[in-house]
């Protein structure tokens, strides 16, 4: 089962409706939904409560380093089985890239990571990632 929301600016009421669904679906795609760091606390909690989650896409949202960090905290839950993570165009900076290698190595089930649309100079600083990513 998948939850696929794209190009929808989520109101507070709509967000409240979606949170329980994020906890249930195997595939969650919330692409270009106007999500920011503020919503990432909710996302972290929802994915920690969802051991079935195998794919998470948050492309084209203004998450920033702190927001991406919160999402990654949620994925580090021991019951997490994430296999595919898409964070393209999420306002990740050089500092955010710097913490990725250590965090991602702890995600043993992760098979695909999508980070394109990172400025080239930031990408070069992300190169310590294992080749499996």
Q: What are the structural domains of the chain? A: 2-125 (3.80.10.10)
Q: What is the pLDDT of residues 59-115, one digit of tens each?
A: 999 999 999 999 999 999 999 999 999 999 999 888 888 878 888 888 999 999 998
Q: What is the pLDDT of residues 19-62, one digit of tens each?
A: 999 999 999 999 999 999 999 999 999 999 999 999 999 999 99
**CA angle in degrees (0–180, nearest 5) for 98-104-107:** 165
- 127 has pLDDT over 70: no
Q: For the chain, how big is the Rg over CA atoms in Å? A: 14
Q: What is the pLDDT of residues 106-119, one digit of tens each?
A: 899 999 999 865 55
* Cα–Cα distances in angstroms (integers) from residue 99 to residues 84, 103, 124, 133, in the given order: 18, 7, 14, 15
Query: Is there a contact between 56 and 82 (Cβ–Cβ < 8 Å)?
Result: yes
User: What pLDDT shows up at residue 124?
Assistant: 44
Q: What share of the chain is helix, strand, coil (3-state, %, to 5)?
A: 40, 15, 45
User: What pLDDT shows up at residue 38?
Assistant: 95
User: What pLDDT shows up at residue 128?
Assistant: 45
Query: Is there a contact between 98 and 70 (Cβ–Cβ < 8 Å)?
Result: no
User: What pLDDT shows up at residue 86?
Assistant: 96
**CA-CA distance, 62 to 11, in Å (whole number)?**
16
């Amino acid at each position: 089962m998948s939850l696929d929301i794209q190009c929808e600016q989520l109101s507070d009421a709509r967000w409240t409706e979606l949170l329980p669904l994020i906890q249930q679906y195997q595939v969650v795609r919330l692409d270009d939904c106007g999500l920011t760091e503020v919503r990432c606390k909710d996302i972290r909690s929802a994915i920690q409560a969802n051991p079935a989650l195998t794919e998470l896409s948050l492309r084209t949202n203004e998450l920033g380093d702190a927001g991406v960090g919160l999402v990654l905290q949620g994925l580090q839950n021991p019951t997490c089985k994430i296999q595919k993570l898409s964070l393209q165009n999420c306002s990740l900076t050089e500092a955010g890239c710097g913490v990725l290698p250590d965090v991602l190595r702890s995600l043993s089930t992760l098979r695909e990571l999508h980070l394109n649309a990172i400025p080239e100079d930031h990408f070069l600083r992300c190169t310590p990632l294992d080749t499996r990513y």
